[in-house]
Each structure stands twice: as C-alpha cells, then as structure tokens.
Amino acid sequence: MPRYHSGVYLYNGNKEADEIDLSLRETLPVISQEVKELKVIQTGSLDELKEVCHQYGPEVDVFFILGGDGTVHECINYLAPLKKRPIIGVLPGGTCNDFSRVLDTPQRLDQAADSIIRGEELTVDAGQTENNYFINFWGIGLVTQASFNINEQQKDRFGVLSYFISALKTVSQADPFDYKVTVDGEVLEGEAVMVLVMNGQFIGTRRVPVPAIDLQDGKLDVLIVKNSNLTLFREIMTMGKERAVDKNFEELYYRQGETVKIEVDGSENVDMDGEIKGHAPAELKVLPGHFTFLGGGPNALSPLLDK
C-alpha cells in the first residue's frame, strides 16, 4: 500500500532537457510507488511556482521539490502562510543543496528519492522576517558579498567550487560595518564583516562548527564574525566536525534566541538560504515546528558531535 494518498512533484523546467529527463528517470519511479495520486508539475517562473504551492499545498499529503536551495526557499515562502501545510520532501537538484544536507539526504538523486520516501517525518523550525521566511540561514556581510561575486559561467563550469573561489575572493575586499544585535533582549554592539542567523547547519556544502545548532530546538543561532581574519574564515569554511565555539574562537560571537533584532548603519543586502532578498536592519523570529520534512537518513538532525 502506498505511504501517501496524494502528492505533488514539482520541478524547474528551465534546466537543460537532458538534465531534467535524467533527474525524472532517477526519482519518479521510486516516488510514484509510494504516492497513490501524484501530480507531476513543471514550473517555469516564480509566478507558476507560487500558483502550484497555493493551489496544491493545502490539499495534498506530501509535496516533493526537485531543485536547489533557491527553489526550496521560494517554496517554503509560499507554503509557510498556509493553515494546512503538506509534508515536504527535498530532492537535491541544485549546486550546493545545503538544506537537503541538513536533512542528511544522499546527494545522488536515485539514492535521495529512495531515502526520503522511506524517511522519518521530522517537525522542524523556520525563521521569519518582516516579509519573508527562511529555513536554513539569514545573513549579511561576507556571505552576501560572496554571492554577488559568483561568476555565473564559473558556477556552471565548477559548481560548488565556484562558491569557494568567490568566498576567498571576497575576504580580501570585505567591508566592515557597525552593528547592534539584540537577541532575546541581550544587546551586542561593535564592528563586523558578517552576521549569520542560522536555523540549519550548512552553508556552501560546509557544516557550521557549532554543535548547538538544531532545527528542532525552537531557537535561532546568531553568529557574528568581528573581522576578516583569513585564518578564521578558513576555519569557518573548513567546518571541523568537533570544533565548538569557545573562548579560543575569539573572533566569533555566538548566541541563541527566539527573537533577533539586527540594526546597522545604512542598509545591508540580505542573503536568505542562498537568495539575495531584502535588506537589514531587520527583525527575525523563530517559528517552532512550523514545517514537517522527510528526513533523508538515520542521522537526520542528530547532534553534530554524534556524526
């Protein structure tokens, strides 16, 4: 008997035909066996994606998204306001696929399809700003500047490597900014080159080395990089599995909280889940247990130090 009665399988029709065909052949036969009534829908624009989410989101049991972090981000923004939200399955079809990594989903599509359709249903938090939602991270400073510095031709050719090339290029030209961050009433002020508010654990395929970050704890995790020290930046990008934030991690400020207010001089572009969207100053809050995702493996959402 199929696991779910009704579902949607959404994919981006703007990719190369050969790539789409291969992705569908690797995933649809597995997914369709476990959903009795499955609608397969190709989208070619944000308007079409929004329409699919609004029309089918409240009706179906499960909503599969074949795409990268940007597609996942847009979908959760359209699904988040719904009173009745479907269970979501993420099939990694992008460059970094960071949120699928948080869910411990295999990065080969055939393995991912089999893993998530049999995976555990996991209730996870989401972050909300004044106008948008995020599921993995919100950031200003270096992370946003690195996104702007990505060369699209380089991205097509080198994939994930292009993000690291861009990040290293950005370090030498990072512009510090004055900030005032308030986390559940606690205020910190100073000068930084990057502020991250994490819900998930991955950026650019690398795990942030903070064991406390947890999608299910009802808190957001705030990290502030106070200067552009290259050694520190490499430490962050290396993401040592057992490296906790401690007194030796002198250039990184870390706090957890349910509400976060970020004030800066002027305006800073915001990167949400890999998409440049909005500006700081901003106010953020956590929405505990707002979504249910299909976990991709037995270690999905388990503590960092257990991995």
Query: Could you say which DSSP state residue 281 is in?
Result: S
Residue pair 180/187 in contact (Cβ under 8 Å)? The answer is yes
CA nearest to 63, candidates 83, 81, 40: 40
Query: Can you tell me the distance from the alpha carbon of 92 to that of 113, in angstroms, rounded to the nearest whole number?
Result: 9
Decide if 284 contacts 260 (C-beta within 8 A).
Answer: yes
CB 129 within 8 A of CB 282: yes
Amino acid at site 264: V
Cα dihedral across residues 73, 76, 77, 78: positive or negative: positive
Q: Output the six-digit token pair for 184.
A: 């559940």
**Residue in this structure with the two tokens 């995790």, named with its chain if needed:** 221
Helices (H), the chain: 17-33, 46-56, 69-79, 98-102, 109-117, 142-148, 152-158, 160-171, 230-238
* Residue 162 neighbours by CB under 8 Å, 6+ apart: 95, 150, 151, 154, 155
String of b and e for 176-208 (b: at least 16 CB within 10 Å)?
ebebebbbeeeeeeeebbbbbbbbbbbbbbbbb
Distance CA 7, CA 71 (A): 18
Catalytic member of 26, 34, 74, 275: 275
Active site residue 59: no
- Residues noted as catalytic: 275
